[in-house]
A and B are shown apart, each in its own frame.
Chain A
Amino acid sequence: MKRARARRDHERSTDPARPPANLYPRGPRIGAVDPDPRGAFYVVRPCATSAGYEARPRRPLGLTTGQAAERLRAAGVEVVRDAGVVLLARAGCDVTVFPTGKLLLKTTHQAEAEVATARIAAALGLAAGDATASAPR
């Protein structure tokens, strides 16, 4: 029984077509900047040379870009383009919205990234106050 489970887990972990089960971990990720465990999103700097910030939802939202666009427009957020696989919006800075809810914020100012994340989070039906980030370590 144990062996069968171990084999299944190994096959899952090595199947390139299968996303890792721990894609959206609850805890802090490497590179996360002081993630607030209460937040729906946490804002990270993806890598040292990134020209932007990322905001990741703690759980994937599973929205289509069309649904996300509708919600954003209803909340007064400008939707620049719905490319089907991603959505381009403007909320203070340019934001790429992925169907999982991941946001790519095209700004190098963390405060601006936080404000935009809060605005998008609220528009997507999450409490605005849930979007959190703090100064990089």
Chain B
Amino acid sequence: MTRTLHAHGLVLLSGGIDSPVAAHLVQRTGATLEAVHVSLEPFTDATPEQKARRLALAVGLPSLAVVPGGDANEAFAQADPRRYFVLSKRFMLRCAERLAAERGASFLVTGENLGQVSSQTLPNLAAIDAAVSLPVLRPLLAMDKVDIMRVAERLGTLAMSQGPELCDTLGPRYPATRATAEDAAATEGRLPYEALLTKASAAAPFGPP
């Protein structure tokens, strides 16, 4: 079966195992992708960004934009710790949507996988999706982690993704698993959200990985 998706999209690329695999699966359909990495410095170190650059090259992504997300994520952690991950993902998608408008991209791709971590539940994903109007493709949504790792190994990205990294320090021990878009929007309404979004997106030019 030939699958052709003649479209251009942006993939949210972390330094982890899943997002490069998601990018690969979507590229296989014929779509073209560019990468967006949201950096949480200074709360992490520079390794996630360095890994994202290496991973982008490994899966053949021609360019990458690094969005400085530290300030926004700090604000989310203070304003609503339990919904931190949902607020953070909504912010990432919104940044990507802004960049998509500049790049002529018509969809977004993430490596989210249902139930893999406590923040990736169906209600949370619905609350995240509601933040943007572009379609969000999640090619790994129902895959087993071992299968994802097998693909990553075949791609040669597994070892890169498993390299040293400092995890997100702002996330709560017990994240909300049933967030709603309304609750998330209410928290966002209490923050200088537009300023955070504009500042982060404007500071993210695309360039070769």
Residues of A within 8 A of B (CB): 16-17, 19, 49-52, 80-81, 83-86, 88, 94, 96, 98, 104, 106, 108
Contact = CB atoms under 8 A, between A and B. Distances in A.
A50 B78 contact: no
Given A17-B174, A83-B77, A51 B169 contact: no
Interface in B64-98: 74, 77-78, 81
A83 B166 contact: no
Interface of B: 42-43, 45, 47, 74, 77-78, 81, 162-167, 169-170, 173-174
User: Do most interface residues of chain A lie in helix, strand or loop, or is the interface mixed?
Assistant: loop
A51 B74 CA distance: 21
B164 A50 contact: yes
Contacts of B45: 51-52, 94, 106
B174 A86 contact: no
A42 to B, nearest CB: 19
27 contacts: A16-B174, A17-B174, A19-B174, A49-B162, A50-B165, A51-B47, A51-B165, A51-B166, A52-B45, A81-B74, A83-B43, A84-B77, A84-B78, A85-B77, A85-B78, A85-B170, A86-B43, A86-B77, A86-B169, A86-B170, A88-B42, A88-B43, A94-B42, A98-B169, A104-B166, A104-B169, A106-B166
A89 B179 CA distance: 32
Contacts of B43: 83, 86, 88, 96
